[in-house]
Copies of this chain bind each other. A is one copy, B any other.
Amino acid sequence: MSSTLPQIGFIGLGVMGAPMARHLLTAGFPLHVTARRPASAEPLLEAGATWHGTPRELAAVTDVVVLMVPDLPDVEALLDGPDGLVAGVVRPLLVVVSSTVSADGLRRLDARLRTETGELARLVDAPVSGGEEGAQAGTLSIMVGGAEEDVALALPVLAAAGTPVPLGPLGAGQVAKACNQMIVAATVLALGEASVLAERAGIDVGAMLDLLGGGYAGSRLLEVKKHRFATHDHSPSGPARFMVKDLGFAVDELRRTGTASPQTDVVRQVFTDLTAAGLGDQDTAVVQAYLEGLERGD
């Protein structure tokens, strides 16, 4: 059985990547790693992973490489140059991008990669949601986009780290992640506007959100954030400034497809403005404080 398993590479052993790589190893995949900080790979090496000095060396022995690095330039830095993955491609290599990046940037990168490697190397996108907790537990939701045969190769690998769902062509995972962030950001902002209004009208915000949560306004975010809105607790967790990048990707795709998005445009502006105002490191519930400081225009 073990001899039929693909050789898996993993690069980007941060708070999300390290537990994901660990789950792949636990599932029995032969795992190959490299890292700028070799120390970050040590626990995996002790558990049986194989170390490679460069992405090029890693590419030469792997069938699938999962990348969990911050953004597209980081992905490109791993692919390009004399020590990059592309330089090591001697057989088919599937590069699974689990980072949240621009869908269109990814499509352009895939086209270039295929050209440069004579179709040997190609991309699948597989951004995740579920946070550090989901990564640790191996219960991430994984949004997968790519050509059918590539996705078929990636799914059993990703299944070790969570629940991968194929959604469409390359970029579909990123667009789905963008859609997730559009819904999340709009819901948080709606909860913020409602909370500020309610408090100014003399309402017990916690009691109101408890009540509304039992009806059509009920959501996972209302449950997770209601204590924050009731007590003005905006202490850091998921930083609000991440929404600027994520909603930027959303607007890029909305523009590319000519899709009107009056609400997302406004939500993105609010997160951009509150980040510029120095509130971006706080939890997204900080929309409450931002709105409290705004003057109404009419």
Contact = CB atoms under 8 A, between A and B. Distances in A.
List the number of copies, as a whole number.
2
Contact of A175 (B143, B203, B221, B260): B203
Most B CB contacts (10 A, CB to CB) among A143, A171, A194 go to: A194
B141 A193 contact: no
A294 B197 CA distance: 31
A216 B175 contact: no
B262 A197 contact: no
A165 interface: yes
B194 A182 contact: yes
Contact of A220 (B167, B207, B215, B259): B215
Interface in A246-265: 250, 253-255, 257-264
B189 A187 contact: no
5 contacts: A179-B198, A180-B216, A182-B193, A186-B263, A200-B259
Interface of A: 103, 129-130, 141, 143, 163, 165, 167-169, 171-172, 175-176, 178-180, 182-184, 186-187, 189-191, 193-198, 200-204, 207-208, 210-212, 214-222, 224, 250, 253-255, 257-264, 266-267, 269-270, 291, 294-298
